[in-house]
């Protein structure tokens, strides 16, 4: 629908820019760029600038099934499981936990850094202490103190990091950095606005060179220099194993004789004017540019890791050739930036959010401190929302791996938690903004990886548990690790959790619910179907005749035994039963779509679902987490897995289950006002689903807490909050667990979307309800959102509100359907047809609903 009213005019869109007025002092101060596979953290140094580079295929280790509890369980893992269940039945929890530790089968591998690209102005002398050593790589840190007129920006709209500064001699320099998806290269360009510039370009490898970086021959020209550009290429090998930091292994990074990823790096340096040459320095070749007006640096990479199959081909010459060919092809293009910009904006530009108010002309760190003192700044929420979408575009594209704990950005050989796929919330949260944020193609890498994980998980299910289908536990990696994590001494609170596949498989259903893509559903259906097959074999009959789970944990949480000691293993936790019910619902609902003909599976699934206990409410009003009324070991625990069917599930909301929704809200209240960064994002989404606008505002404010600000500049810590464990964001707006984890940035995007519109409910007649502004914070009285995707294939073309009330909404649908549009208790029932339909919502004369066929 087109309206001639003034309020319908598109507002001037504020630039989506993260700004800091000093070079990065820490890794978390840097700004990320990425093309899904190749990522870099941009420090913005003016003496030596560091671009810390990752390739998403660079992991330690190699494909291969781990031993499943080899020596720890000589009688066989299924006998160990049976004994643990017997011990739980007689109430000997500590002995059961001891038995279950015997099923632990090692650790996932670790995501790895690739190289540092170092850009040095030889006329600038870095101050003492300006060099930082990261995992043995000496890489220049940004200058201590900002030079004159310094400004560093991450432009979310264009996918470019821009830095500008004035040198001591008065000359102005500008630099842009981007990671091109169309051309698969990192591009750094430095320009002298007046005069000329000198630049030394060097690559520092994060791993030992297999073939040292050296001038490259492309087969037609002299080595190194081609048409005025210098090209270099080298080869490194990833470690054969990296132990996680919590494993306590002294030599954590192993470089043995076994297979591991081969990675090639190619570099091209081209200048306008001046001289370009290759010098030999103590740390390898340096491309020296003198007297140029503009310098362009391209970096490309290739590895022998085939993401489609999860295998290594081991051909070093092929890897080197692919990296060099990528750079050569990009080096001759004059439209690199235009191609990148068009590609990036085609995704980022699909969704617009305006929450009103004028953004202060301040850098991010100052804005975050100001916001912590209570100053209104709705623009920070907009930036947080769009940063999650930007990171999704930058970190996940078709053909890549899904994002890990660090997204695709990591400087450490031994990153926190191995930067792996933590499946008890984190990898799932990484995918939350893709569908609602209209980035469906960015959801595909997760589904493709699940296809491969299920292959490994089938062996684990069969050999460890004697079960059909596939299983995954707490951790995984690029190679599909699916066994229980640990070495026999690790906590069952996270290791003993065979529900990773049960939760992950729901993303297959989510993809179909948002897109209606039957072909994608059929392609990935074995993931969902076989996760349900494992679940049905895992369920056990309980003494009361219900079906339950044993052993069972509530991820990473513990309860207290009668003697006061902490325990984690029990039977039939609420989280297990909630995820089980959700998966079986999806199986039975979608089986007709794919033509599933396994009637035995479907019959068993229907019968099992009917025997699963529902959630229950504790005497104190909270939603029960454990099968018994036992005290929590941590009342403010960061996980809230037992609220699964509130969010990301859809079964519990204030209309469909008011008592359980009230209990869920009481649970969140009891958890307290603060937590780690990613947990705050999850709680924000839960509050939104519960229509708790004040809770949304409080958790968003807590999420935007600047963890790296000087405590003297911040208000006092809220009562009951432990300052040393408080999460939030770094001055770059990256999420602080702490340490950095990308999941919080992605989860907060999904949570903000839930506060603005929800479409998870379908009535008995099949009509989908679109609930507008279900949890709008009071601080956003006027605003507009355009472009969100909704379940049922609906598309929120436009939603405007003023003074907290809907002013206009426009929806499209892919096919004729009936939609119930709702604000508070006002509802309008609309049948989507081939022509626009307008109706009023409630008794507000200015409110219009326009729904058209897509």
Q: What is the side-by-side strand order in the sheet with 826-831?
A: 757-758, 768-772, 818-823, 826-831
User: Which of 264, 141, 268, 259 lies closest to 215, judged by CA?
Assistant: 268
Rounded Cα distance, 374 and 26, in Å: 27
- What's the pLDDT tens digit per position in 806-838? 999 999 888 888 899 999 988 888 876 545 566
Residue 9 in this model has a pLDDT that exceeds 60: no
Residues 6+ positions from 484 with CB-CB distance below 8 Å: 69, 100, 103, 104, 105, 464, 473, 474, 495, 496, 498
For residue 643, the Cα-to-chain-centroid distance in whole angstroms is 20
* pLDDT > 90 fraction of the chain, expressed in percent and rounded: 84
Domain ranges of the chain: 6-12+758-853, 17-59+110-344, 69-102+421-651
Q: What is 17-59+110-344's CATH topology?
A: Beta-galactosidase; Chain A, domain 5 (2.70.98)
**Which H or E run contains 31?**
strand 31-34
Helical ranges in 373-505 per DSSP H: 378-395, 426-436, 444-465, 492-495, 500-504
Look at 129-143, 494-508, 655-669, 839-853 and tell me which has the smallest mean pLDDT.
Answer: 129-143
**pLDDT tens digits, one per residue of 766-796:** 999 999 999 999 999 999 999 999 999 999 9
Give per-residue pLDDT as tens, 208-222. 999 999 998 653 333
| Tokens at 767, concatenated | 């009509």
Contact assessment for residue 777 and residue 697, using Cβ atoms and an 8 Å cutoff: yes
DSSP, collapsed to helix, strand or coil, labels residue 762 as: strand
Closest CA to 820 of 667, 686, 673, 655: 655
CA 650 to chain centre: 21
Q: Compute the Cα dihedral for 624, 627, 632, 633 and give only its sign.
A: negative
Confirm if 252 and 268 have CB atoms less than 8 A apart: no
Question: Per-residue pLDDT averaged across 337-347, rounded?
Answer: 98
pTM of the model: 0.95
pLDDT at 27 over 70: yes
CA proximity to 262, closest of 315, 308, 224, 329: 315
pLDDT at 128: 37
Q: To which H or E segment does residue 161 belong? A: strand 160-166
Place of tokens 């050296």: 214
3-state secondary structure of 279: strand
* Average pLDDT along the chain: 92
pLDDT tens digits for range 416-431: 999 999 999 999 999 9
- Distances, alpha carbon 741 to alpha carbons 55, 90, 747, in Å: 17, 41, 11
Average pLDDT over residues 31-40: 98
CATH classification number, 6-12+758-853, choose in 2.60.420, 2.60.40, 1.20.120, 3.40.50: 2.60.40
Q: Domain 69-102+421-651 belongs to what topology?
A: Glycosyltransferase (1.50.10)
């Amino acid at each position: 629908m087109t309206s001639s009213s003034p309020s319908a005019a598109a507002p001037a869109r504020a630039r989506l820019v993260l700004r800091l007025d000093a070079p990065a002092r820490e890794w978390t101060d840097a700004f990320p760029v990425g093309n899904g596979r190749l990522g870099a953290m941009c420090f913005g140094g003016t003496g030596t600038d560091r671009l810390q580079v990752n390739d998403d295929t660079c992991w330690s280790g190699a494909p291969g099934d781990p031993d499943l509890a080899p020596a720890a369980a000589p009688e066989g893992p299924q006998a160990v499981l049976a004994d643990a269940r017997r011990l739980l039945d007689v109430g000997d929890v500590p002995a059961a936990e001891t038995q279950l530790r015997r099923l632990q089968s090692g650790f996932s591998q670790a995501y790895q850094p690739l190289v540092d690209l170092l850009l040095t102005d030889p006329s600038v002398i870095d101050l003492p202490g300006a060099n930082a050593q990261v995992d043995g790589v000496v890489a220049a840190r940004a200058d201590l103190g900002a030079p004159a007129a310094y400004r560093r920006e991450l432009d979310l709209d264009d996918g470019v990091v821009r830095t500008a500064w004035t040198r001591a001699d008065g000359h102005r320099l500008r630099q842009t950095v981007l990671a091109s998806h169309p051309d698969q290269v990192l591009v750094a360009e430095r320009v002298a606005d007046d005069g000329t510039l000198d630049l030394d370009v060097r690559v520092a490898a994060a791993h030992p060179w297999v073939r040292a970086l050296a001038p490259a021959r492309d087969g037609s020209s002299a080595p190194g220099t081609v048409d005025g550009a210098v090209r270099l290429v080298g080869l490194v090998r990833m470690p054969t194993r990296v132990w996680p930091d919590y494993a306590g292994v002294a030599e954590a990074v192993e470089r043995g004789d076994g297979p591991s990823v081969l990675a090639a790096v190619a570099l091209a340096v081209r200048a306008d004017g001046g001289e370009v040459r290759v010098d030999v320095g103590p740390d390898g070749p340096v491309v020296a540019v003198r007297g140029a007006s503009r310098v362009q640096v391209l970096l490309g990479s290739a590895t022998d890791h085939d993401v489609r199959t999860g295998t290594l081909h081991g051909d070093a010459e092929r890897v080197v050739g692919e990296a060099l060919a990528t750079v050569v092809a990009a080096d001759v293009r004059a439209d690199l930036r235009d191609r990148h910009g068009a590609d990036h904006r085609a995704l980022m530009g699909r969704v617009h959010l305006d929450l009103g108010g004028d953004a202060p002309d301040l850098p991010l760190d100052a804005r975050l401190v100001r916001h912590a003192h209570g100053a209104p700044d709705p623009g920070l929420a907009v930036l947080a929302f769009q940063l999650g979408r930007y990171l999704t575009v930058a970190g996940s594209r078709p053909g890549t791996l899904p994002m890990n704990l660090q997204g695709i950005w990591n400087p450490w050989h031994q990153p926190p938690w191995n930067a792996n796929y933590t499946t008890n919330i984190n990898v799932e949260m990484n995918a939350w903004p893709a569908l609602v944020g209209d980035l469906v193609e960015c959801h595909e890498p997760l589904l493709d990886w699940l296809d491969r994980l299920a292959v490994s998980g089938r062996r684990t299910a069969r050999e460890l548990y004697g079960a059909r289908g596939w299983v995954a536990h707490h951790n995984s990696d690029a190679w599909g690790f699916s066994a229980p994590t640990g070495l026999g001494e690790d906590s069952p609170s996270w290791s003993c959790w065979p529900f990773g596949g049960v939760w992950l498989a729901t993303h297959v259903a989510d993809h179909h619910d948002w897109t209606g893509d039957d072909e994608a559903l059929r392609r990935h259906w074995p993931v969902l179907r076989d996760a349900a097959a494992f679940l049905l074999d895992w369920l056990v009959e309980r003494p009361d005749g219900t079906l339950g789970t044993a052993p069972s944990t509530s991820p990473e949480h513990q309860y207290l035994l009668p003697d006061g000691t902490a325990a984690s293993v029990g039977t039939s936790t609420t989280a297990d039963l909630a995820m089980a019910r959700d998966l079986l619902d999806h199986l039975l609902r979608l089986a007709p779509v794919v033509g599933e003909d396994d009637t035995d599976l479907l019959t068993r699934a229907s019968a099992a679902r009917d025997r699963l206990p529902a959630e229950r409410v504790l005497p104190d009003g909270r939603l029960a987490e454990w099968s018994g009324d036992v005290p929590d070991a941590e009342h403010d625990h960061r996980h809230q897995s037992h609220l699964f069917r509130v969010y990301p599930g859809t079964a519990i909301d204030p209309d469909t289950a008011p008592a359980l929704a009230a209990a869920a809200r009481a649970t969140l209240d009891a958890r307290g006002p603060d937590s780690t960064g990613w947990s705050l994002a999850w709680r924000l989404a839960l509050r939104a689903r519960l229509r708790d606008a004040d809770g949304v505002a409080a958790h968003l404010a807590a999420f935007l807490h600047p963890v790296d600000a000087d405590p003297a500049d911040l208000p006092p810590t809220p009562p009951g909050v432990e300052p040393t464990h408080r999460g939030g964001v770094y001055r770059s707006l990256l999420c602080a667990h702490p340490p950095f984890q990308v999941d919080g940035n992605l989860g907060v995007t999904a949570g903000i979307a839930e506060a603005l519109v929800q479409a998870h409910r379908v009535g008995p007649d099949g009509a989908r309800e679109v609930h507008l502004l279900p949890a709008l914070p009071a601080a956003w009285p006027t605003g507009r959102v355009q472009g969100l995707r909704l379940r049922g294939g609906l598309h929120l073309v436009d939603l405007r509100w003023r003074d907290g009330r809907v002013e206009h909404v426009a929806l499209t649908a892919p096919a004729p359907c009936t939609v119930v549009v709702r604000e508070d208790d006002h509802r309008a029932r609309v049948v989507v047809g081939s022509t626009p339909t307008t109706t009023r919502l409630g008794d507000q004369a200015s409110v219009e609903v326009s729904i058209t066929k897509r």
